[in-house]
Amino acid sequence: MKKLIAIVLSLMTVFALVACAQPAAAPAAAAPAAGDASQTYAIITKSAGNPYNEREASGFEEAIKAAGYTAIIKHPAEITAEAQITLINELVAQGVSGIAVAANDKDALETALKAAMTAGIKVVSLDSSVNPASRMTHINQAGVQQVAQALADAVLDLTKGEGDWAILSATSTASNQNAWIEAQKEIMKGDKYSKLNLVEVAYGDDEYQKSVDQTQALLQNYPNLKVICAPTTVGIAAASKVITDAGLQGKVIVTGLGLPSEMAEFMGSGDVACPYMFLWNPIDVGRVAAYALVEMVNGSLTGELGQSFTAANGTTYTVTEAGDGGTEIIIGPPFAFTADNIAEWKTVY
């Protein structure tokens, strides 16, 4: 018995010594073997309390976990660049392997993200891009031109070709909304849109109540308003609620980019607040960001133009040229949700 206890004790000592010999944390630049749980990948969304951002983060987390790694999800309390910089600095100090960020400002994250890349951390933006110097590539849900064209044609159709319309956006510094709005304005310089009058671009900051207030102000200030186009899931839901509560369905029409689960109650046949709108799968946006970061850490992806890789879902993604001079990976075209398919999609995302 004594002998057995002695053996057990000496084995415990050996295990303890081996455990102590392990480094406390792997250096950030090191690339451990695939499936090594010490690889940690973080996603920073635009802000807390937005179901779109939660879907995006859930796709990221799912793909990172499926690959055997650790996922960190950060939803900043405020929809600001400052809140995101604090989180980036913390993640750099922690020595994570990769960071995906949906930017609240194109340029303001540059110093923090450059410091991350210098420390060997792989960096991509998703959903809302940072400038090319601040990222290795951008994961774009859909082509900017495609989104802008869909929105321009929806405004043309829903106004029946003439009259006042307004945009209800997210924050004034959001690079995704700003890119869509700029491209939409450019498209709408064309002849067929010449009888349309954009009265205002309002900003609800992706906050529900502020978006409600902004919608009410638009209704008050522009009595002939025909269409509100909201390229934000928070804005389109808030505007649709205001129109429905005011009984203005069929008189002021809402369209834009919406989450089916939030918009189903405002869609359908007859006079509804929103006859149709567009989006993509936000869960996929998070997944593809995760795939790209994992490939950057463990494979040869650097985000350079022309590269491609096949992800764990079997899809091959290609790095293409982005409109801002950097590169991006485009996931697919925007999808239209109508009275005919909204019931089918409202439970998906």
- Angle, to 10 degrees, between the axis of helix 233-245 and the axis of helix 208-221? 60
Q: How many residues line the site for ligand RAM (CB under 6 A)? A: 14
Shortest separation between residue 51's beta carbon and ligand RAM, angstroms = 8
What distance in Å separates the CA atoms of residue 184 and residue 106, rounded to the nearest whole number? 19
Shortest separation between residue 180's beta carbon and ligand RAM, angstroms = 9
| Residue ranges in 155-184 that form contacts with ligand RAM under rule CB under 6 A | 170, 174, 176
What distance in Å separates the CA atoms of residue 192 and residue 194, rounded to the nearest whole number? 6
Six-digit token string for 68? 């055997």
Q: Does 52 bind ligand RAM (CB under 6 A)?
A: yes
What distance in Å separates the CA atoms of residue 121 and residue 123, rounded to the nearest whole number? 6
Shortest separation between residue 254's beta carbon and ligand RAM, angstroms = 14
Stretch that binds ligand RAM, among 3-11, 34-42, 46-54, 325-333 (CB under 6 A): 46-54
Q: Which residues of 154-180 are buried (b: 16+ CB within 10 A; e: fewer)?
A: bbbebbeeebbbbbbbbbebbbbbbbb
Q: Which is nearer to ligand RAM, 266 or 309 (CB)?
A: 266
Shortest separation between residue 22's beta carbon and ligand RAM, angstroms = 40
Q: Does 257 bind ligand RAM (CB under 6 A)?
A: yes
> Mask of contacts with ligand RAM, 106-135, x by CB under 6 A?
---------------------xx-------
Beta strands in the chain, from DSSP E residues, in sequence order: 40-44, 70-74, 98-101, 122-126, 137-140, 163-169, 196-203, 225-230, 253-256, 276-279, 308-310, 316-318, 320-321, 327-330, 335-338
What distance in Å separates the CA atoms of residue 55 and residue 282, rounded to the nearest whole number? 6
Among residues 64, 234, 292, 331, the one that binds ligand RAM under rule CB under 6 A: 234
Task: Report the C-alpha dihedral over residues 204, 210, 215, 219, rounded to 10 degrees.
Answer: -130
Q: Does 253 bind ligand RAM (CB under 6 A)?
A: no
Alpha-carbon torsion (150, 56, 74, 92), positive or negative: negative
Among residues 164, 206, 284, 295, the one that binds ligand RAM under rule CB under 6 A: 206
Stretch that binds ligand RAM, among 230-238, 266-274, 293-301, 311-319 (CB under 6 A): 230-238
Q: Does 205 bind ligand RAM (CB under 6 A)?
A: no
Paired sense of beta strands 308-310 and 320-321, if any:
unpaired
Give the residue closest to ligand RAM by C-beta.
Answer: 52
Shortest separation between residue 232's beta carbon and ligand RAM, angstroms = 4
Among residues 173, 232, 298, 327, the one that binds ligand RAM under rule CB under 6 A: 232
Q: Which is nearer to ligand RAM, 36 or 153 (CB)?
A: 153
Residues that bind ligand RAM (CB under 6 A): 46, 50, 52, 102, 127-128, 170, 174, 176, 206, 232-234, 257
